[in-house]
Structure 1
Amino acid sequence: MKVYDEKHIKNVVFVGAHNSGKTTLAETMLYEAKLINRRGSVENKNTVSDYHEVEHEKGNSIFATPLYTEWRNYKINIIDTPGLDDFIGEVISSIRVADTVLTILNGQHGVEVGTEIIWNYIDRYRKPTLFVINQLDHPAFNFEKSLQSIHNLVGNNVVQIQYPLIVSGSYCIIDILKMKMYKFSPEGGKPEKLSIPVEEKEKADYLHNELVEKAAENDEELLEKFFENNSLTEDEMRKGIKAGMLNHELFPVFCISALSDMGSGRLMGFIDNVAPAAADLGPEQSLDGREIKPEIDGSSVLLIYKTVHQSNLGQVSFFKVKRGQVTINDKLLNTRSGEVEVFNQLFIMDGKERISVSRLTVGDMGATLKLKATETGDTLSNPETEVILKPIQYPDSRYSMAISAVNNKDEEKMSDALKKISSQDPTVIVSYAKESRQLIINCQGELHLAIVEWILNNQFNIEVTWQKPKIAFRETILRSANANYRHKKQSGGSGQFAQVHMKIEPWYEELGEPEGFNIRGKEEIDLAWGGKLIFYNCIVGGAIDQRYLPSIMKGILEVMEEGPLTGSYIRDVRVMVYDGKMHSVDSNDISFKIAGAHAFREAFLNANPRLLEPIIELIVKVPEEMLGNVMTDLQSRRAIIQGIESRENFQILKCLAPESELHAYSTDLRSQTQGRATFKANFASYQPVPGNIQKTLVDLEK
Structure 2
Amino acid sequence: MKMYDEKHIKNVVLIGAAKSGKTTLAEDMLFEAGIISKRGSVEERNTVSDYHEVEHERGNSVYATTLHTEWRDYKINIIDTPGLEDFAGEVVSSIRVCDTAVLLLHAYNGVEVGTELIWDYVDRYNKPTILAVNHLDHENANYHQALDQARGFLGHAVTIMQYPVNQGTGFNAIIDLLKMTMYRFPAGGGKPEKLPIPEEEREQADNLHNVLVEKAAENDDALMELFFEKGSLDEDELRLGLKIGMMKHQVFPVFCLCAKKNMGSGRMMGFIDNVAPSAVEMPPELSEEGKEVPCNPEGLTCLFVFKTLLEPHIGKLSFFKVLSGEVKAGQELYNEKGNTTERLNQLFITDGKNRQPVERLRSGDIGCTLKLKNTFTNHTLNEKNFTAQIEPIHFPPPKVRVAILAKNKGDDEKLSEVLAEIHMEDPTLEIEFNRELKQVILHGMGDLHLAVTRWRLEHIYNMEVDYLPARIPYRETIQKPAMASYRHKKQSGGAGQFGEVYMKIEPYYDGMPVSKEWPVRDTEEIALNWGGKLVFNNCIVGGAIDTRFLPSILKGVMEKMQEGPLTGSYVRDVRVTVYDGKMHPVDSNDISFKIAGMMAFREAFHQAAPQLLEPVYDLEASAPDVMMGDIMSELQTHRSVITGMDSGTSSQVIKARTPQAELDRLYAALRNVTQGKAKVKAVFAEYAPVPADVQKKLSEDYKKVEQQNGTH
Q: TM-score range by the shorter chain?
A: over 0.9
Q: Please state how far the C-alpha of 1:415 moved relative to its aligned partner.
A: 0.9
Q: Please state how far the C-alpha of 1:660 moved relative to its aligned partner.
A: 1.1
Task: Tell me, in whole angstroms, the C-alpha distance in 2 between the residues paired with 1:657 and 1:127.
Answer: 35
Task: Tell me, in whole angstroms, the C-alpha distance in 1 between the residues paired with 2:495 and 2:507.
Answer: 38
Q: Which position in structure 2 is the counterpart of 1:548?
A: 549
Q: Which position in structure 1 is the counterpart of 2:43?
A: 43
Q: Which position in structure 2 is the counterpart of 1:293?
A: 294
Matches within 5 A, 1:583-622: 583-622=584-623
Q: Deviations over 1:487-512 (max 9, x none)?
A: 12222332221111100011112221
Is the aligned partner of 1:664 residue 2:674? no
Task: Tell me, in whole angstroms, the C-alpha distance in 2 between the residues paired with 1:455 and 1:20.
Answer: 26
Matches within 5 A, 1:468-507: 468-507=469-508
Q: Please state how far the C-alpha of 1:647 moved relative to its aligned partner.
A: 0.9
Q: Deviations over 1:300-324 (max 9, x none)?
A: 1111111111221111100110111
Is the aligned partner of 1:319 residue 2:313? no
Matches within 5 A, 1:22-171: 22-166=22-166, 171=172
Q: Which position in structure 1 is the counterpart of 2:239?
A: 238
Task: Tell me, in whole angstroms, the C-alpha distance in 2 between the residues paired with 1:289 and 1:173.
Answer: 45
Q: Please state how far the C-alpha of 1:169 moved relative to its aligned partner.
A: 5.9
Q: Please state how far the C-alpha of 1:2 moved relative to its aligned partner.
A: 1.2
Letter in 1 for 2:668: T
Most deviating of 181-190 and 522-531: 181-190
Task: Tell me, in whole angstroms, the C-alpha distance in 1 between the residues paired with 2:515 and 2:297.
Answer: 72
Q: Which position in structure 2 is the counterpart of 1:208?
A: 209
Task: Tell me, in whole angstroms, the C-alpha distance in 2 between the residues paired with 1:135 and 1:482.
Answer: 75
Task: Tell me, in whole angstroms, the C-alpha distance in 1 between the residues paired with 2:15 and 2:160.
Answer: 19
User: In 1, are the aligned partners of 2:157 and 2:249 still within 8 Å (CA)?
Assistant: no
Most deviating of 195-204 and 692-701: 195-204
Task: Tell me, in whole angstroms, the C-alpha distance in 1 between the residues paired with 2:494 and 2:126.
Answer: 79
User: In 2, are the aligned partners of 1:160 and 1:207 still within 8 Å (CA)?
Assistant: yes
Most deviating of 120-129 and 163-172: 163-172
Task: Tell me, in whole angstroms, the C-alpha distance in 1 between the residues paired with 2:247 and 2:665.
Answer: 40
Q: Which runs of 5+ in 2 are unaligned?
A: 704-712
Q: Which position in structure 1 is the counterpart of 2:710?
A: none
Task: Tell me, in whole angstroms, the C-alpha distance in 1 between the residues paired with 2:171 and 2:512.
Answer: 83
Q: Please state how far the C-alpha of 1:339 moved relative to its aligned partner.
A: 1.2
User: In 1, are the aligned partners of 2:137 and 2:170 still within 8 Å (CA)?
Assistant: no
Task: Tell me, in whole angstroms, the C-alpha distance in 1 between the residues paired with 2:98 and 2:44.
Answer: 29
User: In 2, are the aligned partners of 1:66 and 1:351 still within 8 Å (CA)?
Assistant: yes
In the superposition, relative to structure 1, how do residues 485 and 170 fare at CA in structure 2: closer, same or farther (>3 Å)?
Answer: closer
Letter in 2 for 1:350: D
Q: Please state how far the C-alpha of 1:199 moved relative to its aligned partner.
A: 2.0
Task: Tell me, in whole angstroms, the C-alpha distance in 2 between the residues paired with 1:692 and 1:15.
Answer: 48
SS in 2 for 1:662: helix
Q: Which position in structure 2 is the counterpart of 1:180?
A: 181
User: In 2, are the aligned partners of 1:63 and 1:81 still within 8 Å (CA)?
Assistant: yes
Task: Tell me, in whole angstroms, the C-alpha distance in 1 between the residues paired with 2:664 and 2:243.
Answer: 46
Task: Tell me, in whole angstroms, the C-alpha distance in 2 between the residues paired with 1:684 and 1:215.
Answer: 48
Q: Please state how far the C-alpha of 1:74 moved relative to its aligned partner.
A: 0.5
Most deviating of 159-168 and 62-71: 159-168
Task: Tell me, in whole angstroms, the C-alpha distance in 2 between the residues paired with 1:160 and 1:170.
Answer: 18
Q: Which position in structure 2 is the counterpart of 1:641?
A: 642
Letter in 2 for 1:37: S
SS in 2 for 1:697: helix
User: In 2, are the aligned partners of 1:170 and 1:186 still within 8 Å (CA)?
Assistant: no
Most deviating of 155-164 and 376-385: 376-385
Task: Tell me, in whole angstroms, the C-alpha distance in 1 between the residues paired with 2:594 and 2:585.
Answer: 17
SS in 2 for 1:7: helix
Q: Which position in structure 2 is the counterpart of 1:270?
A: 271
Q: Deviations over 1:221-274 (max 9, x none)?
A: 111111211211100000110111112221100011001111111111111111
Q: Please state how far the C-alpha of 1:114 moved relative to its aligned partner.
A: 0.3
Letter in 1 for 2:653: I
Q: Please state how far the C-alpha of 1:32 moved relative to its aligned partner.
A: 0.9
Q: Please state how far the C-alpha of 1:516 moved relative to its aligned partner.
A: 1.4
Q: Deviations over 1:140-183 (max 9, x none)?
A: 11100110111112111111100000299662111111111111
Q: Deviations over 1:510-555 (max 9, x none)?
A: 2211231111111111110011101101111111111111111010
SS in 2 for 1:199: helix
In the superposition, relative to structure 1, how do residues 596 and 691 fare at CA in structure 2: closer, same or farther (>3 Å)?
Answer: same
Letter in 1 for 2:78: I
Q: Deviations over 1:404-456 (max 9, x none)?
A: 10001111111111111100011000011111100000011111111101111
Task: Tell me, in whole angstroms, the C-alpha distance in 2 between the residues paired with 1:111 and 1:621.
Answer: 17
User: In 2, are the aligned partners of 1:170 and 1:185 still within 8 Å (CA)?
Assistant: no
SS in 1 for 2:175: strand
Task: Tell me, in whole angstroms, the C-alpha distance in 2 between the residues paired with 1:365 and 1:492.
Answer: 78
Task: Tell me, in whole angstroms, the C-alpha distance in 1 between the residues paired with 2:670 and 2:382.
Answer: 44
SS in 1 for 2:558: helix
Of all paired residues, the percent bearing the same amino acid is 55
Letter in 1 for 2:405: S
Q: Which position in structure 1 is the counterpart of 2:329?
A: 328
Letter in 1 for 2:114: G
Task: Tell me, in whole angstroms, the C-alpha distance in 2 between the residues paired with 1:683 and 1:166.
Answer: 53
SS in 1 for 2:658: strand
Q: Which position in structure 2 is the counterpart of 1:528?
A: 529
Q: Deviations over 1:653-702 (max 9, x none)?
A: 11111111222322221111011101111111111111111111111112
SS in 2 for 1:565: coil
Is the aligned partner of 1:8 residue 2:1? no
In the superposition, relative to structure 1, how do residues 471 and 493 fare at CA in structure 2: closer, same or farther (>3 Å)?
Answer: same
Letter in 1 for 2:23: T
Task: Tell me, in whole angstroms, the C-alpha distance in 1 between the residues paired with 2:446 and 2:613.
Answer: 28
Task: Tell me, in whole angstroms, the C-alpha distance in 2 between the residues paired with 1:663 and 1:12.
Answer: 35
Q: Which position in structure 1 is the counterpart of 2:460?
A: 459
Q: Which position in structure 1 is the counterpart of 2:363?
A: 362
Is the aligned partner of 1:681 residue 2:682? yes
Q: Which position in structure 1 is the counterpart of 2:407?
A: 406
In the superposition, relative to structure 1, how do residues 369 and 170 fare at CA in structure 2: closer, same or farther (>3 Å)?
Answer: closer
Task: Tell me, in whole angstroms, the C-alpha distance in 2 between the residues paired with 1:493 and 1:383.
Answer: 71
User: In 1, are the aligned partners of 2:137 and 2:171 still within 8 Å (CA)?
Assistant: no
Aligned residue-pair number: 702
SS in 2 for 1:259: helix
SS in 1 for 2:224: helix
Letter in 2 for 1:108: Y
Q: What's the TM-score once normalised by structure 1's chain length?
A: 0.99
Task: Tell me, in whole angstroms, the C-alpha distance in 1 between the residues paired with 2:382 and 2:278.
Answer: 22
SS in 1 for 2:119: helix
SS in 2 for 1:67: strand
Task: Tell me, in whole angstroms, the C-alpha distance in 2 between the residues paired with 1:323 and 1:597.
Answer: 63
User: In 1, are the aligned partners of 2:611 and 2:689 still within 8 Å (CA)?
Assistant: yes
Task: Tell me, in whole angstroms, the C-alpha distance in 2 between the residues paired with 1:244 and 1:118.
Answer: 21
SS in 1 for 2:261: coil
Matches within 5 A, 1:503-514: 503-514=504-515
Q: Which position in structure 1 is the counterpart of 2:252?
A: 251
User: In 1, are the aligned partners of 2:335 and 2:382 still within 8 Å (CA)?
Assistant: yes
Task: Tell me, in whole angstroms, the C-alpha distance in 2 between the residues paired with 1:661 and 1:460.
Answer: 32
Task: Tell me, in whole angstroms, the C-alpha distance in 1 between the residues paired with 2:485 and 2:598.
Answer: 10
Letter in 1 for 2:103: T
Task: Tell me, in whole angstroms, the C-alpha distance in 1 between the residues paired with 2:461 and 2:357.
Answer: 28
CA root-mean-square deviation: 1.2
Q: Which runs of 5+ in 1 are unaligned?
A: none
Letter in 1 for 2:435: K
Letter in 2 for 1:368: T
Task: Tell me, in whole angstroms, the C-alpha distance in 2 between the residues paired with 1:390 and 1:450.
Answer: 31
Q: Deviations over 1:448-470 (max 9, x none)?
A: 11110111111111000000101
In the superposition, relative to structure 1, how do residues 169 and 575 fare at CA in structure 2: closer, same or farther (>3 Å)?
Answer: closer
Task: Tell me, in whole angstroms, the C-alpha distance in 1 between the residues paired with 2:521 and 2:679.
Answer: 55
SS in 2 for 1:304: strand
Letter in 2 for 1:242: K
